[in-house]
Amino acid sequence: MKCSEIIKVLNELAPESCACEWDNSGLIAGRRDKEVKKILVTLDATDEAVETAIREGADMLLSHHPLIFKPVKKINDEDFITKRILKLIQHDISYYAMHTNFDSAPGCMADLSADRLGLEETSPLEEMGTIEREGISIAYGIGKIGKFPRPMTVEETAELVKQAFGLKTVSVYGLEKGFVSCAAVCPGSGGSEIEEALKKGADVLITGDISHHQGIDAAARNMAVIDGGHYGLEHIFIDFMCRYLEEKLGGKVKTAAVPVKFPVSFI
């Protein structure tokens, strides 16, 4: 299949139009007319991911986080980011990123995380718009807010997060808060969603990359925060996309994944 045909399939799941304005989702490097026989899926286009794509003969690299966020003036081997782009182009590997469009689109990151936590009666935490699916208008946006089947303590909720996302540890602000029933979840960095979660009555926000002041200030306002790490909550992208591509491409293209490997070590 051509790269352009695969991009069409990816856009059926998470249209690029669902991405935030500041984002850089889409085809970042390579050719749309590239014939693709193998796709490598990763969360981040790290050196390891790029080298794995080259070594395994992948024709396309698919990541969640875009390798390029800000405009660059030079593509050479003097910068660690553009060096990766240069390698991908040299080996004729098309590189595509699905970032905030995957975060927000129905059935993607926000829904996947809410499902793992067993949230019910969910709706977008920060609604961005609506999208048509099979003649039905569905609201989409960043994160989800919903209810647990039963009230739980913050400690029980933290254990649920660890189990749901395969985590060894989480950071918790507001552990002393009583029972929680309404939960907001925002995989990745969710500090910007604190006000939205408070406004919508969340007892707990489950996210990643919370700063010290964000955490203690949220707890002071009677909302607990559980920080599972940016990678910790979003690594689910890898397995989901591999299964999606295998189902949609019907064996026409091989799919491989960079193994889940947490970038943070706790000593």
Q: Which residues are annotated as a binding site for a divalent metal cation?
A: 64-65, 103, 230, 234
Residues 6+ positions from 79 with CB-CB distance below 8 Å: 72
Local structure of 41: helix, strand or coil: strand
Which of 109, 111, 112, 135 is CA-nearest to residue 123? 111
CA 235 to chain centre: 7
Instruction: Give which of 184, 187, 186, 189 is closest to 204, Cα–Cα.
Output: 184
Cα 27 to chain centroid distance, Å, stands at: 17
Q: Are 120 and 149 in contact (CB under 8 A)?
A: yes
Backbone angles phi, psi at 26, to 5 degrees: 120, -165
Q: Which residues are annotated as a binding site?
A: 64-65, 103, 230, 234
232-244 burial, b at 16+ Cβ within 10 Å, e below that, comes to: bbbbbbbebbbeb
Question: What is the Cα–Cα distance from 44 to 47, expressed in whole angstroms?
Answer: 9
